[in-house]
Amino acid sequence: MIKKYVYGTPFETEAVMMEIENAEGTPEYGKVCCEQKFCFEYEMSNKDMIFGLGQSNRGINKRGYIYISNCTDDPEHTEHKTSLYGAHNFIVISGEKNFGLFVDYPSTVCFDIGYTHSDKLKIECEYCDVTLYVIEGENAYDIVKQFRKLIGQSYIPPKFAFGYAQSRWGYKTKQDYREVAREYRKNHIPIDMIYMDIDYMQDFKDFTLNEQNFDDFEEFVKEMKQNNLRLIPIIDAGVKIEKGYSVYEEGVKNNYFCKKEDGSDFVAAVWPDDTHFPDVLNKEARKWFGSKYKILTDKGIEGFWNDMNEPAIFYTPEGIERIKKSMKEFIEKNPSKDDVWFMRDSLLYLANNPQDYCAFYHNVNGQKIRHDKVHNLYGYNMTRAAAEGLQEIDNNRRYLLFSRSSYIGMHRYGGIWTGDNMSWWSHILLNIKMMPSLNMCGFLYIGADIGGFGADTTRELLLRWLAFGIFTPLMRNHSANGTRRQECYQFEKIEAFQHVIKIRYRLIPYIYSEYMKAALQYDMYFKPLLFVYQNDEIAREIEDQLLIGNEIMIAPVYTQNAKGRCVYLPEEMMMLKFLSNGTIHTEQYEKGYHYIAIELDEVVLFVKKGCCIPIAEPAEYVEQIDTKNMKLYGYINSEYLLYDDDGITKQYQQQNYKTMKYE
């Protein structure tokens, strides 16, 4: 049961798809106050666990900390950070009472979940213009499914997007891409995509190609395709200010960029230096920006990643002026240590400065809206622009699309990657924990930068991360310019990488099938154990094991030098261990704790009691997977309901399901 409470005059975010009448009175749970601010307070019982908040820090159970929905470009995801790139304001309170809350509010929302007072849940928004959805259900899982129906069907990518991808910020020339292609193919490490980071553009201008390096791009795309590889270019939010550059000229002429108070176009520096931000909250501007993706699809491109769309600001001319002023004062006086700290911080806070987010405006149906009041909708609408533009090209075709910044609602238009993580062991664990929370909020096509984006990776870290990454729908190895190279072929004993990634391809029929079921049935692909084993006191607290689809459980290794790990089985299960010689060892384990040895080049999964899963022969790209000759693994006399389709069109019919019997 879903109830909708409207306070003040909320901005229409279009997060929700269902028509629901406004409820009378006040919510049954907690206390709402709506004076200047919006505030929701709830006394948590000892038993209550809090789930949700999508892309946020810390655990699956969010209790005990504070989280702030405020889309932020911050590459240091250390434990104390309260805001990451997304704003996903859905939580479930599960314990004595079970209910969900969706705070549909496009600006900053603060979730204090037992941080200030250990038993108090407090949600606050600066203004009392909020739509609050209260969802009642039997348990957390049931509430999530209702919520997912409320916000509409999740994005479905083409099937090739389930392949493995290599990316790196720093590839510049065709030779760089050819080398990646050659090394992967030569070493028989399966791969389907190579990502193109900002250097493919001419001076970081969206929808352009570096003239020197990519003169005949269409041919190059073809050449890669002949090698069964797709190139996936990045698109950034900021449009470079440059006379004669058509995207800039058109944007200025038609007032498609965000404006300052005085009506001039707002200027912010990002990768291309000074840029303007397309006003993607303005329908016409959104349509215009979305139509530009065709420039690249016309050259054979089938997917994109949208970046810097919080929108990230390195600095603004106003910010520089502010700094100059304080610098002048600093130089003119005899600075104390406090002045030195102040100066240092002022330079740091030039980027993504709240003052700058208050200095530009959107034109929403003729109304001038200050950016900070709708800040969390920018990445969402940039990706919506792209999705709608791509739909215009061919409505029956799927394109690969994902974004860095997002808000609930964007899950219908694309996936997300979790932004600039680090080559840290703790970030494998963060990756594991974030996945089910994102699924709760509708985001299914998700994954992190495998191996870590910032800092130098190690062979061991990358292998362990890949062994988890083979279960994330988006499986991409990406790293930052200047860090240690992290393509699989850069390391010794390449066979280990080949072996681990081949397992992904053997599992793609299952992964795809479970992804599609989750998308079509408003379900979760990644589930915390307690969503299924609700009465198991131990399973309730396990955050480093996940259920994938309906049949399997995984328990990834995420510590250095480990030779295995302790795994909790909430019931009897069949372990499948993919050995380095390509065979699969199966062994049944009883409910309870077990130490499972897992070598660096091995992958382990557990099939639930009474279930089986299909496993294909290894393939080197998605189209090569032979789904006709798959073998079932798990429990004899069980069945698996396989979903499969052409992977390209949007024909998701009933006949795409087929029952497979393990006899």
Residues that bind ligand GLC (CB under 6 A): 169, 197-198, 234, 307, 404, 419-420, 478
Strand duo 90-94 + 38-43: pairing: unpaired
Residue with Cβ nearer ligand GLC (197 or 206):
197
Q: Rounded to an integer, what distance in angstroms lies between the CA atom of residue 559 and that of residue 424?
A: 10
Q: What does each C-alpha distance from 152 to 50, 418, 445, 475, 629 come to in angstroms?
A: 23, 22, 15, 24, 35
Question: In the bound complex, what is the minimum distance in angstroms from residue 270's beta carbon to ligand GLC?
Answer: 9
Q: Rounded to an integer, what distance in angstroms lies between the CA atom of residue 263 and that of residue 281?
A: 17
Which residues does residue 278 pair with via DSSP β-bridges, in sequence order? 257
Alpha-carbon Rg for the chain in angstroms: 25
Residue type, 301: I
DSSP reduced 3-state for 321: helix
Question: In the bound complex, what is the minimum distance in angstroms from residue 296's beta carbon to ligand GLC?
Answer: 16
Question: In the bound complex, what is the minimum distance in angstroms from residue 198's beta carbon to ligand GLC?
Answer: 4
Residue with Cβ nearer ligand GLC (10 or 415):
415
Residue with Cβ nearer ligand GLC (279 or 307):
307
Question: In the bound complex, what is the minimum distance in angstroms from residue 236's beta carbon to ligand GLC?
Answer: 7
The 8 Å CB, 24+ separation contacts for 524-527 are 524/141, 524/144, 524/436, 524/439, 524/440, 525/439, 525/444, 525/473, 525/549, 526/435, 526/436, 526/438, 526/439, 527/141, 527/436, 527/439
Residue with Cβ nearer ligand GLC (315 or 635):
315
Question: In the bound complex, what is the minimum distance in angstroms from residue 107's beta carbon to ligand GLC?
Answer: 23
Residue with Cβ nearer ligand GLC (29 or 169):
169
Helices (H) and strands (E) in the chain, counts: 13, 38
Q: Rounded to an integer, what distance in angstroms lies between the CA atom of residue 61 and that of residue 614?
A: 32
Q: Rounded to an integer, what distance in angstroms lies between the CA atom of residue 523 and that of residue 143?
A: 11
Question: In the bound complex, what is the minimum distance in angstroms from residue 68's beta carbon to ligand GLC?
Answer: 20
Residue with Cβ nearer ligand GLC (166 or 545):
166
**How many CA atoms, within 13 angstroms, populate the side-chain half-sphere of residue 370?**
11
Question: In the bound complex, what is the minimum distance in angstroms from residue 199's beta carbon to ligand GLC?
Answer: 8
Q: Rounded to an integer, what distance in angstroms lies between the CA atom of residue 640 and that of residue 635?
A: 11
Residue with Cβ nearer ligand GLC (343 or 455):
455
Strand duo 303-307 + 361-364: pairing: unpaired
Residue with Cβ nearer ligand GLC (196 or 548):
196
Question: In the bound complex, what is the minimum distance in angstroms from residue 238's beta carbon to ligand GLC?
Answer: 12
Question: In the bound complex, what is the minimum distance in angstroms from residue 53's beta carbon to ligand GLC?
Answer: 21
Reported in sequence order, the residue ranges of 387-494 that DSSP labels E, i.e. its strands, are 400-403, 406-407, 415-417, 446-447, 449-450, 475-477
Q: Rounded to an integer, what distance in angstroms lies between the CA atom of residue 521 and that of residue 532?
A: 17
Residue with Cβ nearer ligand GLC (13 or 431):
431
Question: In the bound complex, what is the minimum distance in angstroms from residue 84's beta carbon to ligand GLC?
Answer: 12
Element (H, E) at 305: strand 303-307
Residue with Cβ nearer ligand GLC (203 or 644):
203
Residue with Cβ nearer ligand GLC (190 or 454):
454
Residue with Cβ nearer ligand GLC (388 or 487):
487
Q: Rounded to an integer, what distance in angstroms lies between the CA atom of residue 39 and that of residue 431?
A: 31
Show the DSSP H helices in 245-377 as ranges.
Answer: 246-253, 283-291, 294-297, 317-332, 337-348, 354-357
Position with the least CB separation from ligand GLC: 169
Question: In the bound complex, what is the minimum distance in angstroms from residue 120's beta carbon to ligand GLC?
Answer: 35
**How many CA atoms, within 13 angstroms, populate the side-chain half-sphere of residue 341?**
3
Question: In the bound complex, what is the minimum distance in angstroms from residue 195's beta carbon to ligand GLC?
Answer: 9
Calculated CA dihedral for residues 194, 200, 205, 210, nearest 10 degrees:
-150
Residue with Cβ nearer ligand GLC (307 or 620):
307
Question: In the bound complex, what is the minimum distance in angstroms from residue 36's beta carbon to ligand GLC?
Answer: 36
Q: Rounded to an integer, what distance in angstroms lies between the CA atom of residue 388 and that of residue 202?
A: 25
User: How big is the CA angle at 466 (ends 461 and 472), to the nearest 5 degrees?
Assistant: 135
Residue with Cβ nearer ligand GLC (44 or 247):
247
Question: In the bound complex, what is the minimum distance in angstroms from residue 419's beta carbon to ligand GLC?
Answer: 5
Question: In the bound complex, what is the minimum distance in angstroms from residue 200's beta carbon to ligand GLC?
Answer: 10
- Taking alpha carbons only, the member of 59, 8, 40, 262 closest to residue 134 is 40
Q: Rounded to an integer, what distance in angstroms lies between the CA atom of residue 244 and that of residue 481?
A: 30
Question: In the bound complex, what is the minimum distance in angstroms from residue 164's beta carbon to ligand GLC?
Answer: 17
Element (H, E) at 364: strand 361-364
The 8 Å CB, 24+ separation contacts for 25-31 are 27/3, 27/132, 27/134, 28/99, 28/134, 28/136, 29/93, 29/97, 29/99, 29/134, 30/121
Residue with Cβ nearer ligand GLC (76 or 394):
76
Task: Please check whether residue 237 is in contact with residue 230, taking contact to mean a CB–CB distance below 8 angstroms.
Answer: no
Residue with Cβ nearer ligand GLC (420 or 551):
420
Q: Rounded to an integer, what distance in angstroms lies between the CA atom of residue 496 and that of residue 511?
A: 22
Contacts of 472 (CB under 8 A, 6+ apart): 431, 435, 446, 447, 448
